Chains A and B, each alone.
Chain A
Amino acid sequence: MTNAIEAEGLSRRFGRIQAVSDFSVTIERGEIFGLLGPNGAGKTTIINMLITILPPTAGQARISGFDIVREAAKVRSQVGVVFQDPTLDTMLTGRENLLLHARLYGMKKRDYIKRIEELLQLVHLKDRADHLVRTYSGGMRRRLELIRGLLHRPTVLFLDEPTLGLDAQTRARTWEYIRTMVGKEGTTVLLTTHYLEEAEEMCDRVAILDDGKVIAMDKPSRLVDSLGGVVIILDAPTLTESILKDMPFVERANHSHGKWEISLNDTFKNLPLLLKRVGPINQLELRRPTLNDVFLKLTGRHIRDEAQEDAGGWLEEAFRQDQRGRS
């Protein structure tokens, strides 16, 4: 059986910006694969090339064995897409959006009528299906886009930030839907997200991108395990960077929200040595490392910088307002 996605040296340049360099991957059928990386890493560009709306400047790729450049029409019939920016027709109702989609994909009537009802039911949009999309909330729109992407039974589903701009609860529920739908039909998924905790939970494999290049690709658990040990969270007011630098067994240390996050090599041997030298301790916690720590180790940065994190609340609100303004 052919692989769902195969890419070799896929690259894209915009003028002087190398948005994606040398992206190679083989994704098996049924796999859920995550593309992770900060803003501008090239995630959307990779998706746009794979769904044939942006020609690569080098390299090649196949979706279900069809070449993305030479057999674009066949590729299009294989894929479903949920774009990063909303693309619903706000002048139509939810159900009409789905009907239009079914017709654009040449589905048979006896096939789509039933499926539309099932999908609407699944994401709890049935009572609102005959209202204009203009009147939907951000979360409802995202759910509608999701089932629209799945309506024609694509073999590969691309989800670009499917939970962007949703609150934590709605995000969790959306992932739940994705898992249910995809699990049932064996769809291959390539998704991008900024929320690494969610990627860790959802994805069979992830690729971490920075500046257009893949800097790590593996199962999330393997990436996390490769860090070894645990992360020590320490609230020690007198601790300084130079004290930490003095200790050769400190692998990484990073100060945020008034606390230190420290990784040691050979944690359990060296932890007592560390604690002896950090001064008074208000609080001490140990936690398992996460993909965030992997990202931090590989790039020296958090995937979302702290300022942006703190502003998250109103940024998301602004985003939602913007969406509302659009319709």
Chain B
Amino acid sequence: MILRELSGLTGVWWREFKVFWRERSRIVASIISPLMWLFIFGSGVGAHYSVAGVSYRDFIYPGILAMTVIFGSVFFGLYIVWDRKIDVFKAVLVAPLSRTSIFLGKVLGGCTDVLLQVMVLFLFSFLFSAIDPRGLPQAFLFLFLSSVAFVSLGLAIGSLLKSLEGFQLISAFVIFPLYFSSGALFPVDRQLPSWLDVLVMLNPLSYTVDGVRGSLMGIHHHPLMIDFIVVSTFAFFMVMTGSFLFSRMKI
């Protein structure tokens, strides 16, 4: 029973990985945009400003990692709308396998894709003098948990959507607001207007950015333990919500 669930779960995961690897040229495309943020936007602004004692370009590196994770993860999850449309999923859903296992296989598949992109970005980290490479594993843990959370969020929304038309809306009303109010591109301190400060505090992605920045360059607003607790609680909550909605999804 458990063995069968496990075999199915890893099967779904394996499938996602196969498809991803087959289209690995897409990794290149998906890495272009974060690199432009870092080396064009970051270098341009960084030529004039430094933040919290590091160049602006270095400062946003953790934020760009978080960006890569949230965009990659949510869109991966939303993609099930398409799977469902072309009926591929029907064959998976009639297997004697719980929806939870299928869901978890999908989540792991999405995380693998996203974290491979993260690792490619890690390769550039030596170009950023403010980064202490010893912090990379801890940063990776934060990014992994966030990826679990946001793939689950994407799958949760995808389970509810009927068509691909919602993609733009999700992008405009969920992903961009979360990204911009996470402190990815600016420091979180007392100078922020109070309404923005509230938004940042409520945004779960802020804790990812804070945790990653803390791990890599020792700059953080909250104790890292708090960041860790918030991010892992959020991930747990999203997995529960996502698997609930996924299991009620109509074929």
Chain A residues within 8 Å of B, Cβ to Cβ: 51-53, 73-74, 76-77, 79, 81, 83, 85-92, 96, 100-101, 103-107, 148, 326
Contact = CB atoms under 8 A, between A and B. Distances in A.
Contacts of A53: 90, 93-94, 251
Contacts of B4: 105-106
A138 B222 CA distance: 59
Contacts of A103: 7-8, 10-11, 14
Contact of B7 (A106, A148, A326): A106
Contacts of B3: 106
Interface in B67-92: 86-92
Given A87-B89, A104-B8, 20 more contacts: A51-B94, A53-B251, A73-B96, A76-B96, A83-B87, A85-B87, A86-B87, A87-B88, A87-B90, A89-B15, A89-B88, A91-B22, A96-B15, A96-B18, A100-B15, A101-B95, A104-B12, A104-B97, A106-B4, A106-B97
Interface of B: 3-5, 7-8, 10-12, 14-15, 18-19, 22, 86-98, 251
A21 to B, nearest CB: 23
A101 B91 contact: yes
B246 to A, nearest CB: 15
5 contacts: A51-B94, A104-B97, A106-B4, A106-B96, A106-B97
Contacts of A74: 96
Nearest to A72: B96
Contacts of B94: 51-53, 76, 79, 81
Q: Can you list the 9 inter-chain pairs with the closest CB atoms, starting with the nearest? A: A106-B4, A103-B11, A77-B96, A76-B96, A104-B95, A87-B91, A106-B7, A91-B19, A87-B87
B82 to A, nearest CB: 11
B96 A105 contact: yes
A54 to B, nearest CB: 8
A321 to B, nearest CB: 15
A86 B97 CA distance: 21
Nearest to B102: A104
Nearest to A52: B94
A53 B11 CA distance: 21
Which of B7, B10, B14, B98 has most chain A Cβ within 10 Å? B7
B14 to A, nearest CB: 7
A79 B5 CA distance: 17
Contact of A326 (B14, B86, B92, B251): B86
A97 B91 CA distance: 10
Contacts of B14: 100, 103
